[in-house]
Amino acid sequence: EGLLSAFIGDWLLAAATVESLDKLCAAAQEQKPAFAGSARWKQVREHLGRDCQGLVWADLKPIRQHLLRLPEDPDARAALPPSPAKAAAVLGLDGVHSLAAGLVLDGPHFDFRIALEAPKDRRRALVKLLEGEGPLTGGMLASVPPDAGWFYFTRESPKRFLPMVKDALEAGTGDNTFSQKLGVGLFAFKLITGVDVEKDLIDGFGDEWLVCDAGGGGPLLDLLPSLTLTGKAKDPAKAEKALDKVFENIAGAAPKPMDAGYKTVVVDGITAHYISVALTDISPCYAVVGSYVVISPTLAGLRRQVRHLAALPGAKDIRSSAEFQAAYQAAFGKALPAEGAGAEQAELPGTLRYLNPKR
């Protein structure tokens, strides 16, 4: 068990089996032209940039074909959709031939790049899967605390994904009535909770979302970091009403040993709702601050984000961080839109990720 290894010249080769290691050693000793000299590898280098210090490439076509094969075990086979390949085709995943990733390190900054190889006739579904709702607005950056160690911003509406998921599941299962069954399931959920998922939850929220570090917490959070999800609601009252019903039903359905209770606490004048769980630091919670909705697995994370949002406008945000300003300049080759005139409407990329390695 474990890896087997052998030195060929200056290179240490490792494999999981004797047969695989023999093949590696034989290929190294034959000294045939390396893949790095092939036209395909040169194309990868050109797409990712020759300044990459680290490169990873995967030929996805044989991997995908292997994963879509039905297993030999009858029970495992029965549990899989009869045609997973069709589901992959609906999502455009069957058209991805290879994937390459590269890393560029430049002092305190790093740049991560990805390139996908897909033929023209299979790109439409893939582009539909990957495209977002449009650029972010600079105003959403105000929702990020100035000392955030990392955050992830994206603009995405669940409404866009629902039809794709339905089509993929219908193609994968061969069940053309899946949409009807899903509708029945959502109706049953509405009867139990009083929440219409599409009208109350999905329509109540907007399409700009922030995930960032919440900071602080109990000992369990050393293993399970605390996160906050912040979204700008189209209808804050509708979103709050729907979340209240969902959280209340979750607390009521929890097993007795968890001793879950649905409670409220006031944070800087804002009422936060949470589910207390016995013997754990985890307390799923949410709060509505103006047009923002904040959800977190811990009260510690929620308090930090609520206090920041409650102090807006006027409070400092991530745009005041010198580290973030430098990272933005390095990533996009232009200065971060300054706070003030026009900054709230300034367009940012459709997805924005930030990690401060000093935190």
pLDDT digits (tens, 9 = 90+) for 89-148: 666 666 677 888 888 877 666 677 888 787 777 666 666 666 666 666 667 788 888 888
**What whole-number distance in Å separates Cα of residue 49 and Cα of residue 102?**
8
Q: What is the pLDDT of residue 64?
A: 67
Question: Does residue 26 surpass a pLDDT of 60?
Answer: yes
Does 225 have pLDDT greater than 60?
no
The mean pLDDT of 277-304, rounded to a whole number, is: 86
Residue 311 has pLDDT above 70, yes or no: yes
Q: Dump pLDDT digits (tens) for 45-75.
A: 787 887 888 888 888 777 766 665 645 555 6
pLDDT value, residue 222: 47
List for the chain the helix, strand, coil content (%; round to 5). Answer: 45, 25, 30
- Across 171-175, 278-282, 300-304, least confident range: 171-175
Return the higher-pLDDT residue of 202 and 14: 14
**The predicted structure's pLDDT at residue 266:** 92
Give 319-334 pLDDT, tens digit per residue: 888 888 888 888 778 8
pLDDT at 342: 46
Q: Which residue in the block uniquely carries the two structure tokens 């290894």?
A: 5
Residues 82/174, Cβ–Cβ less than 8 Å: yes
Q: Which residue has the tokens 């034959």?
A: 30
Report which of residues 182 and 191 the model is more confident about.
Answer: 191
Residue 344 and residue 293: Cα distance in Å, rounded?
Answer: 19
What's the whole-model pTM score?
0.66
Q: Which of 80-89, 169-178, 241-250 has the lowest mean pLDDT?
A: 80-89
Question: Which positions ≥6 away from 321 have C-beta within 8 Å?
Answer: 146, 147, 148, 356
